Amino acid sequence: MALWVTLLCSLVASLLGGLYLLGAFRRRRANEPPLDKGHIPWLGYALDFRKDSSEFLKRMQRKHGDIFTVLLGGYYFTFVMDPFCFGAIVKESRAKLDFKKFASELVRRVFGYQSVEASHKIIQLSSTKHLMGDGLVVMTQAMMENLQKLMLFKMNSGERERTWQEDSLFNYCYNIIFRAGYLALYGSEPHQGADNKEKANEHDRVHSDELFYEFRKYDRLFPRLAYAVLPPKDKIEAERLKRLFWSMLSVKKSRQKDNISGWVSDQEQSLAENGVPEYMRDRFMFLLLWASQGNTGPAAFWLLFYLMKHPEAMKAVKEEVDKVSRESGQEVKPGRPPINVTRDMLNQTPLLDSALEETLRLVAAPILIRAVLQDMTLKTSDGTEYALRKGDRVALFPHASVQMDPEIHPEPHRFKYDRFLNPDGTRKDFYKNGKKLKYFSMPWGAGISICPGRFFATNEMKLFVFLMLTYYDLELLDGEEEIPPIDSSRWGFGTMQPIRDVRFRYRLRF
Chain residues that interact with ligand HEM, rule: CB under 6 A: 103, 120, 123, 131, 291-292, 295-296, 299, 364, 366, 368, 443-445, 449, 451-453, 456-457, 494-495
Three-class SS of residue 436?
strand
**Nearest distance in Å: CB 407, ligand HEM:** 23
Distance, CA of 386 to CA of 245 (rounded, Å): 45
Nearer to ligand HEM, 415 or 444 (CB): 444
Q: Select 103 or 332, whichever has its Cβ closest to ligand HEM.
A: 103
Pick 85 or 457: Cβ nearer ligand HEM: 457
Contact 358, 411 (CB under 8 A): no
Q: How far is the CB of 452 from ligand HEM (least distance, A)?
A: 5
Across the chain, which distance is largest between two alpha carbons, in Å?
Answer: 98
- Identify which of residues 223 and 452 has a Cβ nearer to ligand HEM in the complex: 452
CA distance linking residue 488 with residue 53, whole number of Å: 8
User: What gap in Å lies between CA 398 and CA 88, rounded to an integer?
Assistant: 15
Question: Which residues 6+ apart lie within 8 Å of 38 measured at CB?
Answer: 44, 45, 48, 70, 71
Does an H or E element contain 71, and which?
strand 67-72
d(CA 365, CA 397): 7
- Which residue, 201 or 449, is less far from ligand HEM as judged by CB? 449
φ/ψ region of 395 (left if φ > 0, alpha if ψ in -120 to 50, else beta) reads beta
- Cβ 451 to ligand HEM, closest distance in Å? 3
In whole angstroms, how close is the CB of 254 to ligand HEM at the nearest point?
Answer: 16
Q: Which residues, including other chains, have CB under 8 Å from residue 376's CB and lie 6 or more apart? A: 92, 96, 97, 387, 388
In the sheet that holds 75-80, the strands lie side by side as: 35-36, 67-72, 75-80, 393-396, 368-372, 97-98
Nearest to ligand HEM of 114, 330 (CB atom): 114
Sheet of 472-476, strand order: 165-168, 503-508, 472-476
Whether residue 355 contacts residue 303, with contact meaning beta carbons closer than 8 Å, is answered with yes
**Cβ-based nearer residue to ligand HEM, 43 or 442:** 442
Pairwise CA distance, residues 79 & 73, whole Å:
15
From the list 267, 259, 273, 129, the residue with the least C-alpha distance to 204 is 259
Distance CA 265, CA 284 (A): 12
In angstroms, what is the minimal distance from the CB of 122 to ligand HEM? 9
Are 164 and 305 contacting, i.e. CB atoms less than 8 angstroms apart?
Answer: no
CA dihedral of 171, 177, 178, 183, whole degrees rounded to 10 = 140
Identity of the residue numbered 297: G
Q: Which residue is nearest to ligand HEM (CB)?
A: 453
Per the rule left: phi > 0, alpha: psi between -120 and 50, beta: everything else, 193 is left
Q: Which is nearer to ligand HEM, 33 or 453 (CB)?
A: 453
Q: Which of 429, 294, 299, 431 is nearest to 360 (CA)?
A: 299
Amino acid at 73: G
Nearest CA to 455 among 125, 122, 91, 128? 128
Task: In whole angstroms, give the CA distance from residue 403 to residue 442.
Answer: 8
